[in-house]
Amino acid sequence: MMTISRRTALAGVTATLGGVDFGHPALAGQSPSATDDEAAWGRVAAQYPVTREIALLENAYWGSMAAPVAAVHREQIARLNRDNSWYARRAMIADQARAKARAAEAMGVLPEEIGWCRNAAEGLTALIMQFREVGAGDQILFADTDYETTQGAMQSLAKARGAQVIKINLPVTMTRENLVETYREAIAGAPRLKLVLLTHMSHRNGLVLPVSEIVPLVKARGAQVIVDCAQSFYQIPFKIPDFGADFVGMNFHKWVGAPLGVAAIWIRKGYAAAIAPAPELPNAASDDVQAKVHQGTVDFAPQLTIPAALDFQALIDRQAKIDRLRYLRNRWVSQVRGLEGVDILLPDDPALYGATTSFRLHGQGSPEANIKLTDILLNRFGIMTVHRVGLAGGTCIRVTPSLFTMPAEVDRLAAAIRQLAMERPLPA
């Protein structure tokens, strides 16, 4: 039975671990530092066996596993299939506890404060819909940049409890100051505010919200805060308690690079009673965070692969990681910003963006126009992007490079945007 410790994985980057080559020897102790050191970042990229038939610039959906992490995942699947319930009902309990401890360490929280779920949407929906402290006439607040599922959950909560929904649209031209002021005004105008949803990084345009400045405004009103960290966790360096929030939902299968199907909720110690247990567990203890999301029998392999995914990420300095992602983002944005007919939806303040930034061609804000544009980018230029709906300003195209992205691929995107801007209206 294979057991992988953090020490073993990190020490064994040049060796073989249970038949798994844990990373390129050149990565050991030599994390890339310069954002444009293409030789060093090429060694990182080599760990991701992704297709090069197209430029994959839609990496906010989920994160590709590095080859050594995928190999550990395959071994976990094989073990579960081989040893079945003998392992699952016995030794796996200790392995899950170790995985949870590693996850909690990465989040900067206590293991007893987190519970597993399959994705952030599942966990956040539970936190919202099972929030106990909203009643008739109370108010809840969210924004147009929040995820569709969480917006829907907030609306469903209000309908079920007779509460009032306050939905705000964030400024089209964004600054740190006007974002905070937008929330300040909305909070000040909500005397019965009980719950606020904040999305740390929007899946629509990539906006990084100044959450740590907004949370105190909410707390001063006496309300509680749920933060959606699905897009930001392990892309941007931070610890969950940094926000001062009460509840958080996040993924491990995006920027941690764990397999699909593993995420977590966090509830600040002492706040668990504010969230009812899952309906299937009516008698669960009020402080049991895991009881807030009832999963039943799930694929355990993704949970068990978290330590390997974190070990691989530990080979790359976290500040160097976000610097590289911002470098790739800036490389294409700088080539098209100011171009007639092209709207870039985020400013160049690095506090407000990470890897993701969205754009639209001027006047092309309908879903149909942007679906058409993604098809053209893919079929004509070999570039994978995705359209996103829901912003007050209209539909847009989301672009997200990853650690395996080559500068030539974002250059290709910039050239394609320049060409399409000259060709407007878009060809049939």
Pairwise CA distance, residues 234 & 313, whole Å: 9
The C-alpha angle with vertex 322 and arms to 106 and 142, in degrees rounded to 5, equals: 75
pLDDT on residue 295 = 87
In whole angstroms, how large is the CA radius of gyration of the chain?
A: 22
Residue 145 φ/ψ region, left for φ over 0, alpha for ψ in the -120 to 50 degree band, beta for the rest: alpha
Q: Are 97 and 303 in contact (CB under 8 A)?
A: no
pLDDT at 296: 87
Consecutive 10-residue averages of pLDDT for the chain (428 residues): 37 35 53 91 96 97 97 97 96 96 97 97 98 98 97 98 98 96 98 98 98 98 98 97 96 98 97 96 95 93 97 95 98 97 96 98 94 97 97 96 98 97 75
Q: What is the pLDDT of residue 427?
A: 61
Give the architecture-level CATH label for domain 318-423: Alpha-Beta Complex (3.90)
- Judge whether 95-309 and 318-423 match in fold: no
Return d(Cα 199, Cα 150) in angstroms, integer: 10
Q: What is the 3-state secondary structure (H, E, C) of 142-206?
A: EECCCCHHHHHHHHHHHHHHCCEEEEECCCCCCCHHHHHHHHHHHHHCCCCEEEEEEECECCCCC
pTM for the model stands at 0.92
Strands 383-384 vs 55-56: parallel, antiparallel or unpaired: parallel
Residue 96, token pair as written in the block: 């899950």
Write down the CATH number for the domain with range 95-309: 3.40.640.10
Could you tell me the residue ranges of all domains in the chain?
95-309, 318-423
